[in-house]
Structure 1
Amino acid sequence: MANLSQQRREQMLSFLETLKEQHNDDASLIAINQIEKELTSKKYGLVWEEHEEEVDVKMKTHIPVFTEIKEKEIVGNPESDEYNFLLEGDNLHSLKLLEKTHKGKIDVIYIDPPYNTLNEDFVYNDKYIDINDGFSHSKWISFMMERLIIARKLLSNDGYICISIDDRELYNLKLLCDEVFGEENFVNNIVVKSSEASGLKMSHIEKRIPKIKEYVLLYKKKDIKMNAITIPKETWDGEYKSILTNITDEELKYIKEIISKEDRSQDEIQKCNCILKKADYEFLSETYVRLNIKTKLEKENFNHQNAYKIFQTVSMGSGATNAIAEERKKLNENIFFCYESPQKKLYIIKGDYDLLKKKPRMQVLFAEDYLTYNPCDLWTDIKTTGMDAEGGVSFKNGKKPIKLLKRLLSLSTSTPKIILDFFAGSGSTAQAVLELNKEDGKDRKFILCTNNEGNICNEITYPRIKTVITGVKVDGTSYSEGLAYNLKYYKTDFVDKKSEDIYEDLLAHIKEMIQLEYGVKVDNSKYVMIMDDEEMDDFEDNISLYKELKTVFINQDVMLTTSQEKMLQNVEVKIIPDCYFDFELREVGELW
């Protein structure tokens, strides 16, 4: 079949060649070449009207830098030299600087960007974007494109990015990510079920089916080996409990011995009853139904499907008389039974009859081994309501469940070292990283970027991280035992490209870049920064004072003497790279 669009383009391009011959002045040729460029540009994929942001305009005349806010440093673990980072400012400026310190070093990126909805969550050039704006999608895509291009550069080769999104921009984001990361690097579109349904408040739609889902787009950089997601089974026919916390291991062992016996005395059953009542459950006397279920289950490997099926058929009269089944319907009687699976694991199960739904149901009360399942790419088990308790701060919109973030951070078979969230919002990612470290003993670090729109960084993000680390809420009340980690707080600042002292102005922010790149604190004790020959000489004269010295960061322009080289033989030396601001300095003629 002929490509009609291609044929039309070729005809127009041929006509342009004729125009070039007829109009060969510079102005005409420039215009014709621009038309030719548009005709030969991309013809499949995401096409949008590119928009410029004020943050881009700012960088034409100013160089972004980080300034540390020292009074906001948090030291939750004085014994550790390692730091996490909170970067306040427009995330594009932060990403531009992270490209200098963390290119190819980020293992996981999680972002929860604006959804571009009517809820006024998308600010572009300091203005909320009206959903009726004819360029609302183009502005959102331009906004995301510039940031995702840098995000890809930051990812390590076995790194991956997770992006939360809803229906409004999902399809644009998928095409955008295909372009940035490569369609071949698409991994999954994970559907996350919300705990509560929500409607859509849009003037041009009066009614719609309530929305109960969001999405997480997952892309890899190049290579990634994914973990099989195996999580505790928290629903079994809509209900599941793992309880009996008041019962000791010895008591469970006794129950197991009794239930395994062919014949049980009334005294043994009564003793089991006394034990189970501690957890508000009762081990009833032997019944025909219970025996049939136990016998059937022991013949098969225990699983959710056949256990329910057996319970349903037995309780409804297969093996029991219709009279028993009818009486059970009327009384809504609970049937408790215990048994050992073929794997010699003890289970205690309760069954009853749902009069409303007119069918039996069952509930696991105790499982000696954890029942697990793989949710694949449909996650229905994550609660998305009542999250105000997470982090000890009040924040109505934009929070993501800690459970969701922990699972996303655990997808790779290799443990990520550095996690970046450049739409940090309330700071859920920081809490997820630190709690996950506590659970599995790993040593992940986080870097969070957020603006201070609505004072969110000062009033929500930072207080939340401080609460999680110290265990003390803003009001002084207790939140937890705390988590032993450290944090540095940076704010984006700017150096004017026309400054007469631009070289010195930029050097004044080198310390922040070093600390960020290596995740440490340059304290002039364990970690020392030396910028010129005079500082190096002074350091040599006082070397005996540096008892805990670990690393020396030396400006590449410092010329070491023979004695200084010998002095540093057993010390880690890092040369401060010229890549921090070399491009900017060359741009203004300060370097050649």
Structure 2
Amino acid sequence: MSRLTDLLAQARKTDPQLAADLEAEFRQLTQRSQFGLVFERHQPEAVELPGRPVRRGDTVRVLPPRGSLTIGDTRHWVVTDLERTPDGKQAHLTEADVDPEVREPATSTAALEDLVVVARFEDPIYPGLVETGRVENGGDKPFHTVINAENFHALEMLTYTHRHKVDCIYIDPPYNTGAKDWKYNNDYVGKEDDYYHSKWLSFMQSRLEVARDLLNPSDSTLIVTIDEKEYARLALLLEKIFPGAKMQMVSSVINPRGIVRGNEFARSNEFIYYLRLGAARIAPESIENSSGSPVAWETMRRRSIAGARGRRGAGACGPNQFFAIHVDVASGAIVGRGEPLPLTAQVADYRAPRGCVAVFPARDDGTEMNWSLTHTAFDERWSKGYVRAGKATPDKPQKYIIQYILGGVIDDIESGRVNILGRNPDGSIKAEYLESKERMAHSQWNIPSHNAQQHGTGLLEDLMPKRKFPYAKSLYAVEDALRFVVASKPNALILDFFSGSGTTAHAVMRLNKQDGGRRQCISVTNNEVSADEQKGLRKKGLRPGDAEWEQWGICDYVTKPRVTAAITGRTPAGDPIKGEYKFTDEFPMADGFEENAAFFTLTYEAPRQVRRNRAFARVAPMLWLKAGSRGRIISSLPERGWDVAQAYGVLEDMDHAPEFLAALEADPQVGMAFIVTDSEVAFQSVARQLPEHATAVRLYESYLHNFQINRRA
């Protein structure tokens, strides 16, 4: 329900008449016509954090008993105290979000194991990261990262590490079809919900507003895929959040056979919004003519009437351009020519060699024309295979169509830009262009490689046999969508915060292989278990947060194994992946990629612990991300109080600043220096002495300040 509906419900309990009057006014307001995007302002979104330790002051929900299939008590409570009892740890609770002027908030107690922490989006968070694995096959290349997190909170975390640094965001959000494909406030949203459109818009708005802070405002692109259910509302929302962006929509066929939903046209396409910020441009697509497009052959007879035999003035031809070309009747090949005929000579008097037809240039109405070549130019081109007899036309004045290759194409052939494949039986060349041509892609895409069933779901089964993921995107469709905006950016940073199976990261790896790029992809996905699987797990007495539950989540069961399999070329079972990549770059999938990837889970830290330098191990991966995700992570500091890795350094003990500064000076690849101090004077003293290639960042002041100001209502 919307926030206004909740407030009316509270008012009804204390003053029914006032509530009735307010509802009547509310109905009048909702009947007014509105132009543009208008949707309900809902209760602030919240997300449950299973596995997060319960602390005093936390907002929590009481879970139903293990084995129950009901949602249970949906109220939020605040933990006022914690105590040990003979039965285990207990929490004292006070009901949250209750106006004390309306009624007294309820109180209760519950076992800690029956509570789950709830994070509300209007509250600031202090995130950390725990590394859960990595795969290294790319030498000194930067790492791709996969983050298991609620994506709004992951985006908040990235405002510290990547504010205004992202070159491209590609997202494939829930399409809001009414199926159980997404949750709002920990419950699935279906079509029967009166507010399912506005809940989806609220859900998208909160994330897109943070994403806007991550994109490089001077040159970046947002790509969003959607279907017909929400494309119109999404367009208005995007215009609202990105008012200065250049927006265009592409229609892309993803299922040529179509999917029928009741009495509707069979759905075969989806839509892709491109929003370009600043100087961002769409690159032309390359058309490789060497894939079967031959060189052009032109008709050798002059077309303009000014080129008729005997004409004078502009465009007229000389006497050496009217002669017979001898074509062998049996083979259809040119075997020679006659001498140029003077204007007084008659074509009817000309005798061709035995077995040949004399072909003179003539229009279908009998008008005698001229050839585009003189007799000597004809000899030169014919000898090189640049002239040929085409289709026979025995019922017309000109008995064969004579074709030739233009001078510009000959220049391409002789400069090596055309591939000579051989010669035809008549001696004419067979040739195709080697160099590519470019054109702007159309906004209608009907490309076989974008078939989601074959190259999304099917390819995923090759990578991870027996592991299912619904509605996987075609790898090549995502690759092509990205290529238009990052082809000229070999060091681009790409973010996907609705990562799902990890297709975007996989596509970025393919782009890197094709041009030697060092692009990075940050993939954010949660570890949600599908609605159908949840029922079976709950019957077994399992809950989110239990290891036996979490192993079936999207991130652990699909995303991380898919990224690992793509890099290593081996399935989760350790077998070489069968099959080959197709289209732009074809090679065995078992070859893998020369890439690196690291996997993390988002944590929620207490700001007091951060300020006291007691959460360094969980803040450390964020420093590594902020410095470019290269090399090792400085997860703890040695006794000397400082360390320098490939991309950054950390100084904690000011007494050792000279050694730290010397290490930075010796390594020009170190781009950031994190200095842990409460003293602004000490920070500035070290910062002034840093080498030019290093940027100073103060801990933990910069971290705490970032998330304090990021509070969003």
Which secondary structure state, in structure 2, belongs to the residue aligned with residue 86 of structure 1?
A: strand
Higher helix share: 1
Letter in 1 for 2:703: Y
Return closer, same or farther for 1:346/1:75 CA change in 2, 3 Å cut-off. closer
Cα displacement (A) at 1:137: 0.5
Select 1:417's aligned residue among 492, 512, 519.
Answer: 492
Cα displacement (A) at 1:430: 0.6
Which secondary structure state, in structure 2, belongs to the residue aligned with residue 189 of structure 1?
A: strand
Return closer, same or farther for 1:539/1:511 CA change in 2, 3 Å cut-off. farther
Return closer, same or farther for 1:181/1:58 CA change in 2, 3 Å cut-off. same
Alignment partners' CA distance in 1, 2:273 and 2:419: 40
Asked if 1:512 is matched to 2:621, the reply is: yes
| C-alpha contact 1:341 1:347 (8 A) present in aligned 2 | no
**Aligned Cα RMSD in Å?**
4.6
Return closer, same or farther for 1:195/1:531 CA change in 2, 3 Å cut-off. same
| Percent identity of paired positions between Structure 1 and Structure 2 | 23
Letter in 2 for 1:187: M
Which secondary structure state, in structure 2, belongs to the residue aligned with residue 226 of structure 1?
A: coil
Select 2:259's aligned residue among 199, 202, 205.
Answer: 199
Return closer, same or farther for 1:218/1:263 CA change in 2, 3 Å cut-off. same
| C-alpha contact 1:99 1:154 (8 A) present in aligned 2 | yes
Cα displacement (A) at 1:347: 9.3
Asked if 1:48 is matched to 2:39, the reply is: yes
- Count of residue pairs the alignment pairs up: 455
Which secondary structure state, in structure 2, belongs to the residue aligned with residue 579 of structure 1?
A: helix
Asked if 1:186 is matched to 2:246, the reply is: yes
Aligned to 2:523: 448
1:225-248 per-residue CA deviation (whole Å, 9 max, x = no partner) reads 3222344589xxxxxx7499xxxx
Aligned to 2:698: 576
Asked if 1:209 is matched to 2:265, the reply is: yes
Aligned to 1:69: 131
Alignment partners' CA distance in 1, 2:676 and 2:475: 41
Tell which has more relative contact order, 1 or 2 (C-alpha 8 A, sep 6+): 1
Gaps in structure 2 of 5+ consecutive residues = 1-17, 48-117, 296-324, 334-355, 358-370, 373-389, 397-402, 411-417, 422-429, 530-552, 577-588, 635-642
Aligned to 1:224: 280
| C-alpha contact 1:89 1:449 (8 A) present in aligned 2 | yes
Alignment partners' CA distance in 2, 1:118 and 1:75: 40
Aligned to 1:116: 176
* Structure-1-length-normalised TM-score: 0.65
Cα displacement (A) at 1:194: 2.2
| C-alpha contact 1:233 1:372 (8 A) present in aligned 2 | no
Return closer, same or farther for 1:573/1:228 CA change in 2, 3 Å cut-off. closer
Return closer, same or farther for 1:565/1:91 CA change in 2, 3 Å cut-off. closer
Select 1:379's aligned residue among 427, 431, 445.
Answer: 445
* Structure-2-length-normalised TM-score: 0.55
1:467-497 per-residue CA deviation (whole Å, 9 max, x = no partner) reads 2222222121224322222222221111246
Letter in 2 for 1:48: F
| C-alpha contact 2:175 2:230 (8 A) present in aligned 1 | yes
Aligned to 2:58: none
Q: Which has the larger radius of gyration?
A: 2
1:159-184 per-residue CA deviation (whole Å, 9 max, x = no partner) reads 110100000010010010010111x5
Letter in 2 for 1:540: E
Q: How does 1:368-517 map to 2 (within 5 A)?
A: 368-369=433-434, 374-381=440-447, 382-384=449-451, 385-387=453-455, 388-389=458-459, 392-393=463-464, 394-412=467-485, 414-415=488-489, 417-454=492-529, 455-478=553-576, 479-496=589-606, 503-505=612-614, 507-517=616-626
Cα displacement (A) at 1:135: 0.8
Aligned to 2:146: 86
Alignment partners' CA distance in 2, 1:500 and 1:473: 41
Aligned to 2:89: none
Select 1:153's aligned residue among 203, 213, 221.
Answer: 213
Alignment partners' CA distance in 2, 1:496 and 1:545: 31
Return closer, same or farther for 1:62/1:476 CA change in 2, 3 Å cut-off. same
Which secondary structure state, in structure 1, belongs to the residue aligned with residue 242 of structure 2?
A: helix
1:261-290 per-residue CA deviation (whole Å, 9 max, x = no partner) reads 988999999xxxxxxxxxxxxxxxx99xxx
Cα displacement (A) at 1:110: 0.4
1:248-271 per-residue CA deviation (whole Å, 9 max, x = no partner) reads xxxx9xxxxxxxx988999999xx
Return closer, same or farther for 1:550/1:436 CA change in 2, 3 Å cut-off. closer
Alignment partners' CA distance in 2, 1:265 and 1:581: 89
Letter in 2 for 1:49: E
Return closer, same or farther for 1:43/1:84 CA change in 2, 3 Å cut-off. same
Select 1:136's aligned residue among 174, 188, 196.
Answer: 196
Alignment partners' CA distance in 1, 2:603 and 2:157: 11
Gaps in structure 1 of 5+ consecutive residues = 1-26, 235-240, 245-251, 253-260, 270-285, 288-297, 300-313, 323-337, 349-364
